[in-house]
Structure 1
Amino acid sequence: MPRTTSWVETRLDGDQRLVEALVATEDRDEAFSTLLDLTYSDLGELWPFAVIALHAWGSVTGRREAARSRMEAMANAGFGRDGTGLVGSALPVMLALDSLLNGDLPRARAEIQDVREEHWIATVVRALIDIGSGAPRRALDSLDASATATAGLLQADRQRHQVCALAHYVSGDSGRASATIALLPVNARRCSPYEISVLGTLAPGVLRVVADLVPELLPQDFSFDRAGVLEKPSLTRPELEVLTRLARGMKRPDIARDLFRSVNTVKTHQRSLYRKLGASSAAEAVALATESGYLWHPSQASPLRQ
C-alpha cells in the first residue's frame, strides 16, 4: 500500500518502531537502543509496554541503569500519573522490580506501596518483594490466589510458577521448587532471556532447579556459586528494629527503652542479627546490612559510636 500524506503516517511510523523493538528476538542491543531513541510522542498510547520492554532489554543487555534512568525521566514527566490499570502502575512496578534487583528492598517497597492494581505483573513483582522481605508464605498465598488470572497465558503462568518455585527455594525446599516447575507443560518451562536474567540476579541456585527440567536452558559456563539478592540472610522484624536503631548510633540500653523491651531481649536479637550477617560489631552489621539492601541511605543515620 503506497504511503499517504496523512499525519497518521508519522504516528504509525513511531508505532511500528516501537512494536519491532517489543518483539525483537535477535539483536536486543539494537532493540534497546531503539527504545531509548523513541521520543515521548513516538511512544503514544503504547508507552506502558515500552516501559516493560525497556526493563526487559536493559536487563538482558546489561544496561539496566540506562533503562532506569529513562523510566525515572518518564515518571518525572508525568507518565501514568493518576492513571489506572497498567497505565497507572507500569512505571512504579518496573522501578520497584529494578530496585529489588539492585538489592534495595526499602526503595522497592516504597515504589510499589501505592500501586493498587492486581494485574499479574504487579502480583509477581509484589511476591518477589515479599520473598525478599522474608515473607515467602505471603508471596505463595498471593500467587496461588492469582492462578485464574494467569490461566491460559503462557508467559504469565510460567512467571507465576517461577516465583512460586523461588519462594520454596529460598525457604530451603528445593524439592517443592522443582515440583512447582514440573506442574507446567513441558513446552512452557523454558525461561526467556529476561526471566533468566531476573532469576539469575535474585537467586542463581533456583535456575539449577529449572535447568534440571529444561535441557540446554543455560550456557555451560553459567555460575551457580555467587549469592543472589534473595539468597542473603533473612532478618526477622525484631532484628530489623534493632538494626535500624544501631544504624542511628543507639546503644543497647537505649534500644531497649525505645522498643519497650528488656536489655536481654535486645541482646538476643542483636546476637542473632550479627550471626546472620556475619558481623562482629554494630558498625560491621550496618555496613553488611546496607550492602544486602536492609538499610537505605545509611549516610542519613547518626554516626555509629564504637
Structure 2
Amino acid sequence: MTARGCFCCGRKRCPDLAEGEVSMAWRLGAIPNALGRLALACALLLAASAAPARTPLQLGIFPYLPTATLLATYEPLRRHLADRLKQPVEASTAPNYKAFIKRSLAGEYDLLVMGSGLGRYIETEAGYVPLAVSRRDIRVLLLVDARSKLDGIADLRNGRVATLDPFTVAAQLGSMMLRQGGLDAERDVRFSVVTTPFNAAQAVILGEAEAAVVPTFLLTQLGAGMRERLRVLAESPAIPGIAIYARQGVVLPPHPRLTRLLLDFGSHDEAGRRFVQEAQLDGLRPVQANEFRTNDAFLPEIRRQLARQRD
C-alpha cells in the first residue's frame, strides 16, 4: 500500500499546514469515513491534553503581612512571572519567620521575596541570588511618648521596648540602635514582641512600653491624634529594602534577563506600577555589586535567634 498524501492537496507535505498539523492531517485524510475522522481527531486532542504540565515555580513571600493581604498584594507579580516565564507560578508564605527561613534553606522556593537583612542570611547559607530590590530603603524609628522626659537612647535603660519579630530587619535595626546608644539589647531593656508596627506604637500610647521600634512609613499611616502623642527619639541609618531572589540551580532564564523582566514590570506595566505602590516598594531597581554585604552585621543576631528557637 502506498502512503497517501495530504487529504486537502494530495502532496506528501502540505505547505498550508504547520509541522504539528501534518501528522494529524495525514491521519484524518487516511480515514474516508467522516465519523471515523472525527473520532481520531478527538483521540489526538485528548492525547495532547494529557501531556504532563510543567511543574509550577514556587514563589515564597516572607510573612510580614497577614497571609490573605500578602497573597493579594503580590498576586500581580505572580501573574506577571507566570505570563512572562510561560510556566505556572504558585505563591505562598509561612506561618512565621522561622518556618519561612527553614523552607527557604530547604530549597522549597524557586523565587523569594524578603527583606534584604534576612535575605542576606538566605543568600549566604542557601545560595539564592538577588535579582532586584525596592527603591524604598528601610529605616526604623524609636518612638516614645510625646510627654516623656526621655532625652536619649541611654535613658531607656531598664525600660520596656515594643518591637517586631526578632527575625525582621526592623527589630534588628532597633537592637543595633540600642547598642550604638550604649545599651546591651539583651540585658538593659525588656523587649515586648508585637505583631504589627501599629501595635508597637499603641503600646507606647497605652503606657505598656517606654519605646517602640517601628518602620518610618508607620508615621504616614497613623491618624493625627496618635501622631501627636508620639515623638521620635532616634532614627536608624537606611539599608536596602525588600528584595527578590532566585534559587541557584532552578531552571530559569539567565539572571540578567530575570532582573530586566522584574524592572520592566515595575516601570512600564500599568499593573506593575500599581503593584509597587500598593506593596510600598516605590519601584524596583537593580542590586549593586556587593550592596547587601552591609547586612552582614545582622548575620550573628539571626544565627543567635535561630539557635535560641531550636533550644
Normalising by structure 1, what TM-score?
0.24
Which is strand-richer, 1 or 2?
A: 2
Which is helix-richer, 1 or 2?
A: 1
Higher relative contact order (CA 8 A, sep 6+): 2
